[in-house]
Structure formats: C-alpha cells, structure tokens
Amino acid sequence: MDLQYFSICTKAFSKNSLPYTVQSLQRAGWSDCVLWGGVPHVCPLYGNTRTWAEKAGWFQSAGITISAFYPEMAGYGLNPASADRNSKCRTKDYLLRAIDCCVAVGTRRILLYPGAALEDEDRDQALRRSEEFYQPVFEKMAAAGITPVLMCAGYNAGKEGFPIFQNSAIKFAVSSDEIMGNAGAVKGLERSVGKENLALLILFDGPGGHLVAGDGIWDVKKLAEDWRMHFEGASMMVQFDDRRYVTDARRALQIMTKRILAW
C-alpha cells in the first residue's frame, strides 16, 4: 500500500533529536507526518512562534508535510476532565500555547486528548467537565482556523459519548484497539459520521502497546484496507511508541515501512 494514505507520528522518536527524526522519516520515504509536541521536539511549554517555526523548517526542507500537531498531554499531567481547578488552569494555558504552536508549524489540525476520570470518580461527570472545558478552547481554535481532532474511547463516541461532536466542524480519531474485533465498525463509522467528518485512524498493532505493524497479532493490514475503502486521503496515522522501540526508532520505522509498502 502506498505511503500516501498514511501519516507517520513522530512520537516514536521522543528520545531522539529533531534533525535525526526528520532525517529518519526522509530516508524511509515518508512525506507526511503528525508532529508530536513534546520535549525535545516542538513543545508548547517552551519556545515561541519564531523558534517553533524554525524547527518546522526542518520538515519543510526535507519535503515532509506536517498534517497535524499532536501536543503531549498525558505525559505532562494535563487533564481537560480534571475536577481540580489548578489542573484545569494549567491545561488551558498549555492548550492556548498549543494553538499558537500549531499555527507556527504550519498546520491547521490539532490532535487532542479528551481527558480522563480518576478511578474513584464518576466517568460521566468527567466527560461533562471535559466538554465544558473544551467549548471555549474550540472557539479559540475556530478563530485561528484550526480543526480540533479529539481521540475518543469507543468508535461510536463521536456521536453518543461526546455530544459536542454534533458540531460537524469538530472531527475525531479512533484507534486500532477501538475497532479490532468489532465487525463492521469501519463501515458503521462511515454511515454514522460521513467521510467528511471523520479525521483519522490511529493505526498500530497489538495487543500490549502501540506496536509496529506486524509485531503483534492484529490484522492491521485488513483494517487499513477497510479504512482506505471507506475514507479518503491520508486519513490513517501510524503510531509505534512502545518502549521496545525507543533505543532504535529509525530501524523500527524502516521495518514497518517495508511491511506497509508490501501490503
């Protein structure tokens, strides 16, 4: 399968420098990426629009398009669904900087984490807190011309579990583990939201982590083929950030790329 149907997430290279990451993607033949927003790459917590744009220039010089920005949230203790006032304030400040960062790196899509309830909290209440939190943030994104892409738990969450998605301007993402084993899920998504309203599939193998395609037991090839049949464009983001790949992400990327091209 041609790489034009995919974007590659740079999070797997979180232990490498940005120039090394860009060079690795270029050598493997990738021309589209989702830029992970964390240290030591392009992090909203540090720098400014000038330094963020300069770092994005590495991709531009290599002929790689940044199709979306993916600010790290889970790893930095940020939670849109938190009941703690201080946590919500920190999260809001971070996301406002992420908007500026997204614009600076030259993309108009941003991947967001809906947040999570603590184990002893009511999950429906946490979901409502997340929705209340995001409403003004979405408005600021709309003003900046940015499309928010929320990652959901469950392939039907976009219509039933998160009412804010009724606004067709807001897209969402689903991942391999939310679809595997659910016959007809991809076709059901197309009927539910339409081709134009679904952002992307986060594609990885499993179970047991975000594995390189072919390292797990899931039939991710079939999943990718089904997705391509029902949705258009580069609507699949490949992710492989399991700890086993940290020491040599370049080699893991090369192996995975060869497998995808052989599909």
> How high is the pLDDT of residue 117?
86
Mean pLDDT over 21-36 rounds to 98
Inter-residue contact 64 to 30 (CB < 8 Å): yes
pLDDT in tens, 51-83: 999 999 999 999 999 999 999 987 778 999 999
> How high is the pLDDT of residue 193?
66
Phi, psi at residue 6, to the nearest 5°?
-130, 155
* Class of 3-262 in CATH: alpha beta
Between 41 and 200, the higher pLDDT residue: 41
pTM summary value? 0.91
Q: Which of 233, 230, 151 has its CA nearest to residue 187?
A: 230
Residues 198, 193: Cα–Cα separation, whole Å: 7
> How high is the pLDDT of residue 198?
64
What's the chain's length in residues? 263
pLDDT in tens, 174-223: 889 888 877 677 887 777 666 665 668 999 999 988 999 999 999 999 99
Domain boundaries of the chain, sorted by first residue: 3-262
pLDDT in tens, 81-138: 999 999 999 999 999 999 999 999 999 999 998 888 889 999 888 888 988 999 899 9
Percent of the chain with pLDDT over 90: 65
Under the banding of pLDDT at 50, 70 and 90, the label for residue 158 is: very low
Give me 139's structure tokens: 């408005």
Helix, strand, coil % in the chain, rounded to nearest 5: 50, 15, 35
> How high is the pLDDT of residue 164?
55
Q: What are the DSSP E strand ranges found in 72-226? A: 109-112, 147-151, 171-175, 198-203
Q: Which of 149, 79, 150, 154 has its CA nearest to residue 107?
A: 149
Average pLDDT of the chain?
89
Under the banding of pLDDT at 50, 70 and 90, the label for residue 157 is: very low
Q: Which of 196, 155, 223, 157 has its CA nearest to residue 1?
A: 223
Strand partners, 236: 6, 201
Q: How far, CA to CA in Å, does 93 sit from each of 36, 98, 108, 130? A: 18, 9, 19, 15
